[in-house]
Amino acid sequence: MSKKQIIKLITFIVVFLILLSSFQVSSYATVETGTVNFVAIESETNENISNLSVDIYQIGVKNEEGNFEYSAGFENSNLDIDTFTDENINSIKEYAIQNAEAFATKTTDSNGEFVVAGLQEGAYLFVQVSETDTYTMQTMFVQVPEIDEQGNSNYIINVEPKITVVPEEPVDTSTPSSNEDVLPYTGVLNWPIPVLVVVALVLFCIGWLKLYTNSKKKVS
């Protein structure tokens, strides 16, 4: 092989490696992650709710082959993410709380908002941390990316869960009963008993003295 052919071969190899590396970089650059913009608004008053803490559970993500894989805690759940409904979402929430660790915990700011960025393609569950708060949040299932009606994939997802005010316990407003409603006392009085006993003893003594005096007079 001549020197000229060797130079051509080396040039070809270098160009090939450059093209290969640029293809790999571009392919990695196309990997997208999702961002969830969370907004907490009370359903009736439209009030922005601050200091609402939410646990985010990662149910599963897509692997390198594009297949769905369950995350830690959900491996044995046999959940079908395509059949999540409002009716069974609470049972899924209970399973997540008992068997998995929260992927992240976020708290709403003064505008009732927080952002979760860098989410891999997959399925996530948004669960209110404490149910003793003033508000109750409906548990939410979120998929990344979100597929719209036209079949487009959206990686920036806006969510606004249903939030309601926890009803206050009813206050007893009834007025206490007046003295007129008090039943009269119908029990037996105890004081006449000792008085009658004393009177009986006195009468007995008087009678006995009379008998004793009369008997003495007869003897004399």
Question: Taking the mean position of all CA atoms in its chain, how far away is CA 134?
Answer: 11
Angle at 215 between CA 213 and CA 219, to 5 degrees: 115
pLDDT band at 174, cuts 50/70/90? low
Burial class (CB in 10 A: 0-12, 13-18, 19+), 56: buried
Q: Tens of pLDDT along 40-80?
A: 999 888 999 999 999 999 999 998 888 889 999 998 887 77
pTM confidence score:
0.63
For the chain, the domains span 32-165
Q: ω before 145 within 30° of 0 (cis)?
A: yes
For residue 185, pLDDT over 60 is answered with: no
Q: Which two tokens stand for residue 209?
A: 């003295």
Higher pLDDT, 197 or 120: 120
Q: Tens of pLDDT along 11-43?
A: 667 666 766 665 454 444 456 899 999 999 998
For 32-165, CATH number?
A: 2.60.40.10
Q: What are phi and psi of 116, to 5 degrees?
A: -115, 115
pLDDT band at 181, cuts 50/70/90? low
CA distance 72 to 42: 33
